[in-house]
């Protein structure tokens, strides 16, 4: 699933706050005194499901309102003697009088009397007690009628809506979102990933709609007279799969079949609103091509007869990999060539590639338990980068995504509050909180490292072996390590005394990563290497030396620089005094571009991190960054500006901010002039990295008043306002529209704001609507921002529920909006909680942007007080994600050598608190 947190790369270490949050984790509901206490939140192991017959009737605004009802029949095998059947069920009303339990065999069926039904809400359990013992080795089936509300909470089985421009009416649809633990809110089931079974699904609905599920429709029949004009669609039986991958939808969408035919008669369709069906063409191309690439790469055919991909107007995640029916936010599936940016196109390709990778990694082979969620998400993230590179080698996206994933995770993983890639799960409500940058980005990054030191052949062969051994079943990371080790030893990719498990568990079971220190001995022409865990706050590094990682070592020389070879020439091994010596010669070249792009980006990030942790002076880091005045490539700039953005937030409210502004202008001006950003000729067939670079440089240039950036942006926006039909004619280049819009709104008044809001209301492209929301939050008019914040909680305002947190986060990022956003959250916590219910975990997305912009002990205390006062309304764990650097160290940050000859004596930044 894409639902991450992908955007934030900055970090906060709030030790006191995290300690306070930890107390929330122990808060839970207590079972009634007459209910037994289960010692585990895992289901009992007495029964294993074999098959589900699931029938669901969906009411979309008829005389029953918005509701669903149905019956599930579960066939199961008894693995040990038991006196009850325990299932998951949440927020459902069960027809208790009609529940039936029978023992089945070849000779027939025998009813089993139920003596008691018990609900254990803290575990989401319903327990069916039998009057006689249920025997090991016997087969049983239980039939349960159920009904529930078709709410708007974006979880379980819920409803969404949109306004049909052609018919001038509001149209409803229903759709599922079951990962990780929400199938239990749609039907009683064994809602754990290891409990795989086959499914026969049938969906009843009014004939004006179409029904979709994991498999193709087998037949459709009119329903009885009690449901006039209704039909029941019966779908083919699924392959064995986990409940979180079950999916169905009732809608009136249209579809377009893929342009490229799949081998093996796999039918590929893209579904969307009728008004947006013209935006599916790119997905029609990408889907089959990347699926075919995976079939060849994994040496495993896609096992279903069809793939449907559907764009949902209201969707909490980015996308969800349901087997055969993949659901997406509109922004992640739809692309309009005349409106969407190249970056939007890249996101669509990446998300589609990610979800299709899951069809093998996650669906075909599934983790046993959510501890190994990273096997799903990390692998899908990494393999998706291979898929996109295969589709569009001209984008150079593999390098971009590799750097992005590394930068995203380095900041987070340098905190004591980070967690391992493979993390233990206690209460199920913790599962959704590990869909984070560690599972996705660090998971992807360590897999990339493994791919590089094993080599292409070994990596590919090992993955193929793993999938072949465990298809339609469950696995854990040890199973993957075993397959890769077998192939690594066969191919000679690893020494016989080194195995993948030993190497990789040092990266997946430990928190953090090492800083490797090299001590040169010029007399012996050698280097001594030592490692210690890197922490952004050295004062917390009390046990950093207890950590040890297996590090593959490569090196290059000045005489023959080679930054491409990645096979390990040596290893830093744990258990050998954490010390290795490697022959090397001094790397010394006057030509910066002899160092590869990824390495230049990494060197900048390392320099800034080491300065942040006070292991070197900031002067050294800035002296390195000065070279950017010569740099023309995107990735080093991305690394540098990502780090400088953290300092920008810290310094903007200090007396020395003008010095920092001057430095940014100093390094930005050459690249701004060189790129000639407002020349429309540059945007014809632009490379992806070039497009991203222009947008990024333009954004910084306009914020820091470099050259004519603000003037040109305001002028372009004025030209747009003057055209006769602004909804069809836009003179602003697509890839810098966000910069131009934001700059014009920041420097404009109500007229500019109202003009852009009108464009938002008329827009039919999801990615454009998000861009317009972000741009509208750039205003410096407090009353406009205040009104916009209140609109985010008004379902009739035009702002979709899925976008409320995007709106809030961008207001909080605004210098003027930060205090407005903080006050808004303080005053409206209860309303926000009610509006987001049942997905109240999204409350953390309100605290994250506030934490990002804290810069004083006073603000830290305000946030502590807020959490204490709202503890019953905040998620139980990691309410403020530690992904944001906000507070400087206890020691002052010295800004030296910001500009040539610009030592700044006495100019220190004193900010209390922790980073």
- CATH code of 170's domain: 2.60.40.1730
Is 205 labelled a binding residue?
A: no
The secondary structure element, H or E, covering residue 800 is none
Contact of 530 with 549, CB cutoff 8 Å: no
| Range from 139-153, 455-469, 535-549 carrying the lowest mean pLDDT | 535-549
Eight-class DSSP state of 139: E
CA distances from residue 74 to 48, 196, 219, 854 in whole angstroms, order as listed = 10, 12, 22, 52
HEC sequence for 358-423? HCCECCCEEECCHHHHHHHHHHHHHHHHHHHHHHCHHHCHHHHHHHHHHHHHHHHHCCCCCCCCCC
What is the number of other CB atoms lying within 10 angstroms of the CB of residue 621?
Answer: 21
Tell if the pTM clears 0.85, that is, is over it.
Answer: no
Catalytic sites, residue numbers: 355
Per-residue pLDDT tens over the stretch 266-323: 899 999 999 999 999 999 999 999 999 999 999 999 999 999 999 999 998 889 999 9
543 Cβ contact list (under 8 Å, min separation 6): none
Is the backbone of residue 798 left (phi > 0), alpha (psi -120 to 50) or beta?
Answer: left
Q: According to the model, what pLDDT value does residue 911 have?
A: 24
Has residue 815 been placed in a domain?
yes
The radius of gyration computed from the CA coordinates of the chain, to the nearest angstrom, equals: 28
Distance CA 43, CA 123 (A): 9
Cα–Cα nearest to 434, from 373, 478, 482: 373
* Angle at alpha carbon of residue 841, lines to 642 and 512, rounded to 5°: 45
Domain count, the chain: 2
Burial (CB count <10 Å: 0-12, 13-18, 19+), residue 591: exposed
* Angle at alpha carbon of residue 48, lines to 47 and 49, rounded to 5°: 120
Contact of 221 with 195, CB cutoff 8 Å: no
Per the DSSP assignment, residues forming a β-bridge with 164 are 169
The boundaries of the domain holding residue 161 are 42-252
Please provide the distance, in angstroms rounded to a whole number, between the alpha carbons at the two ends of the chain: 31
Contact of 254 with 272, CB cutoff 8 Å: yes
Half-sphere exposure of 343 (CA within 13 A, CB side): 18
Per the DSSP assignment, residues forming a β-bridge with 551 are 572
Has residue 812 been placed in a domain?
yes
Contact of 685 with 725, CB cutoff 8 Å: no
Of 193, 218, 252, the residue at which a domain comes to its end is 252
Has residue 182 been placed in a domain?
yes
Per-residue pLDDT tens over the stretch 82-141: 999 999 999 999 999 999 999 999 888 999 999 999 999 989 999 999 999 999 999 999
Question: How confident is residue 563, by pLDDT bands cut at 50, 70 and 90?
Answer: low
Distance CA 62, CA 209 (A): 13
Highest mean pLDDT out of 230-244, 554-568, 653-667, 869-883: 230-244
Half-sphere exposure of 748 (CA within 13 A, CB side): 26
Has residue 73 been placed in a domain?
yes
pLDDT greater at residue 216 or residue 896? 216
**78: pLDDT strictly greater than 70:** yes
Is 862 labelled a binding residue?
A: no
Has residue 371 been placed in a domain?
no
Tokens of 611: 């300065």
Has residue 239 been placed in a domain?
yes
Distance CA 287, CA 359 (A): 12
Has residue 407 been placed in a domain?
no
**665: pLDDT strictly greater than 50:** yes
Q: What number is the average pLDDT over the span 142-153? A: 96
Q: According to the model, what pLDDT value does residue 517 have?
A: 86
Half-sphere exposure of 217 (CA within 13 A, CB side): 14
Cis peptide preceding 838, ω within 30 of 0: yes
Share of the chain above pLDDT 90, in %: 57
Q: According to the model, what pLDDT value does residue 850 have?
A: 85
**584: pLDDT strictly greater than 90:** no
665 Cβ contact list (under 8 Å, min separation 6): 704, 705, 706
pLDDT greater at residue 841 or residue 134? 134
Per the DSSP assignment, residues forming a β-bridge with 194 are none
Tokens of 829: 């916590």
Contact of 514 with 531, CB cutoff 8 Å: yes
Of 226, 252, 278, the residue at which a domain comes to its end is 252
Per-residue pLDDT tens over the stretch 760-804: 999 999 999 999 999 999 999 999 999 999 999 998 898 998 899
Of 252, 272, 304, the residue at which a domain comes to its end is 252
Q: According to the model, what pLDDT value does residue 3 have?
A: 59
Has residue 797 been placed in a domain?
yes
| Range from 339-353, 481-495, 836-850 carrying the lowest mean pLDDT | 836-850
Q: According to the model, what pLDDT value does residue 300 have?
A: 96
Is 358 labelled a binding residue?
A: yes
Q: According to the model, what pLDDT value does residue 873 have?
A: 64
Cis peptide preceding 696, ω within 30 of 0: no
């Amino acid at each position: 699933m894409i639902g991450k947190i992908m955007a934030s790369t900055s970090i906060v270490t709030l030790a006191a706050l995290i300690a306070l949050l930890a107390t929330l984790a122990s808060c839970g509901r207590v079972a009634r005194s007459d209910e037994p206490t289960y010692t585990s939140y895992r289901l009992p192991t007495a029964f294993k499901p074999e098959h589900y017959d699931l029938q669901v009737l969906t009411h979309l605004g008829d005389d029953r309102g918005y509701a669903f009802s149905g019956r599930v029949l579960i066939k199961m095998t008894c693995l040990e003697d038991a006196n009850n059947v325990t299932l998951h069920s949440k927020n459902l009303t069960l027809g208790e009088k009609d529940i039936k339990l029978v023992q089945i065999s070849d000779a027939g069926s025998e009813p089993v009397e139920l003596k008691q039904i018990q609900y254990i809400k803290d575990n989401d359990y319903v327990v069916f007690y039998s009057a006689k013992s249920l025997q090991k080795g016997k087969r049983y089936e239980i039939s349960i009628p159920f009904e529930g509300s078709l709410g708007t909470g974006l979880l379980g089985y819920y409803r969404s809506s949109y306004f049909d421009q052609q018919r001038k009416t509001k149209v409803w649809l229903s759709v599922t979102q079951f990962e990780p633990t929400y199938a239990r809110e749609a039907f009683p089931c064994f809602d754990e990933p290891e409990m795989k079974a086959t499914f026969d699904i049938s969906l009843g609905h009014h004939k004006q709609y179409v029904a979709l599920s994991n498999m193709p429709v087998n037949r459709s029949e009119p329903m009885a007279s009690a449901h006039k004009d209704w039909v029941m669609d019966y779908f083919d039986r699924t392959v064995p799969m986990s409940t979180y991958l079950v999916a169905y939808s009732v809608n009136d969408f249209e579809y377009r079949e893929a342009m490229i035919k799949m081998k093996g008669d796999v039918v590929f369709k893209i579904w969307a609103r009728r008004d947006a069906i013209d935006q599916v063409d790119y997905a029609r191309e990408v889907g089959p091509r990347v699926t075919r690439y995976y079939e060849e790469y994994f040496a495993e055919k896609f096992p279903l007869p069809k793939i449907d991909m559907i764009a949902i107007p209201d969707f909490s995640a980015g996308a969800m990999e349901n087997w055969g029916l993949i659901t997406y936010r509109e922004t992640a599936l739809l692309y309009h060539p005349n409106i969407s940016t190249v970056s939007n196109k890249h996101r669509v390709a990446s998300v589609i590639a990610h979800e299709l990778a899951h069809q093998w990694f996650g669906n075909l082979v599934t983790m046993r338990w959510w501890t190994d969620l990273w096997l799903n998400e990390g692998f899908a993230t990494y393999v998706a980068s291979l898929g996109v590179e295969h589709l569009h080698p001209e984008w150079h996206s593999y390098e971009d995504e590799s750097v992005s994933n590394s930068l995203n995770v380095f900041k987070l993983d340098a905190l004591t509050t980070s967690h391992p890639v493979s993390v233990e799960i206690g209460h199920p409500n913790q599962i959704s909180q590990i869909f984070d940058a560690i599972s996705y980005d660090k998971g992807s990054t360590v897999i990339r490292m493994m791919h590089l030191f094993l080599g292409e052949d070994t990596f590919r062969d090992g993955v193929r072996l793993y999938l072949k051994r465990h298809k339609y079943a469950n696995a854990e990371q040890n199973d993957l390590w075993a397959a890769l080790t077998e192939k690594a030893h066969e191919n000679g990719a690893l020494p016989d005394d080194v195995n993948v498990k030993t190497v990789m568990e040092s990266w997946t079971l430990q928190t953090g990563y090492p800083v490797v220190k090299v001590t040169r001995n010029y007399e012996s022409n050698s280097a001594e290497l030592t490692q210690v865990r890197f922490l952004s706050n050295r004062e917390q590094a009390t046990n950093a030396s207890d950590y040890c990682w297996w590090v593959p070592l490569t090196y290059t020389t000045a005489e023959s620089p080679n930054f491409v070879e990645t096979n390990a020439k040596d290893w830093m091994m744990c258990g050998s005094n954490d010390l290795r010596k490697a022959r090397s010669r001094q790397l010394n070249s006057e030509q910066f571009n002899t160092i590869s792009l990824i390495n230049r980006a990494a060197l900048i990030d390392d320099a800034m991190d080491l300065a942040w942790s006070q292991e070197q002076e900031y002067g050294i880091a800035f002296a390195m960054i000065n070279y950017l005045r010569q740099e023309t490539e995107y990735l080093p700039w991305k690394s540098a500006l990502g780090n400088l953005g953290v300092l920008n937030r810290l310094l903007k409210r200090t007396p020395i901010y003008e010095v920092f502004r001057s430095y940014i202008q100093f390094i930005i001006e050459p690249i701004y002039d060189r790129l000639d950003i407002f020349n429309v000729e540059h945007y014809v067939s632009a490379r992806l990295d070039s497009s991203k670079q222009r947008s990024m440089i333009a954004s910084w240039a306009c914020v820091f008043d470099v050259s004519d950036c603000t003037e040109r942006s305001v002028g372009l926006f004025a030209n747009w306002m003057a055209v006769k039909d602004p909804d069809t004619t836009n003179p602003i280049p697509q890839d810098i529209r966000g910069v131009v819009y934001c700059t014009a709104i920041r420097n404009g008044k109500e007229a500019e704001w109202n003009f852009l809001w009108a464009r938002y209301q008329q827009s039919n492209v999801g990615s454009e609507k998000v861009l317009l929301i972000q741009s509208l939050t750039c205003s410096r008019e407090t009353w406009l921002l205040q009104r916009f914040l209140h609109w985010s909680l008004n379902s009739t305002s035009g702002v979709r529920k899925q976008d409320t947190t995007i709106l809030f986060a961008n207001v909080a990022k605004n210098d003027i909006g930060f205090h407005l956003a903080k006050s808004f959250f303080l005053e409206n916590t209860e309303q926000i909680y009610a509006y987001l219910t049942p997905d109240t975990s999204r409350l953390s997305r309100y605290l994250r942007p506030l934490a990002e912009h804290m810069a004083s002990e006073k603000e830290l205390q305000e946030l502590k007080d807020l959490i204490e006062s709202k503890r019953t309304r905040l998620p139980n764990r990691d309410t403020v994600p530690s992904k944001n650097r906000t507070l400087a160290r206890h020691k002052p940050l010295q800004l030296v050598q910001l500009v040539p000859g610009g030592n700044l004596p006495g100019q220190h930044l004193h900010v209390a608190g922790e980073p």
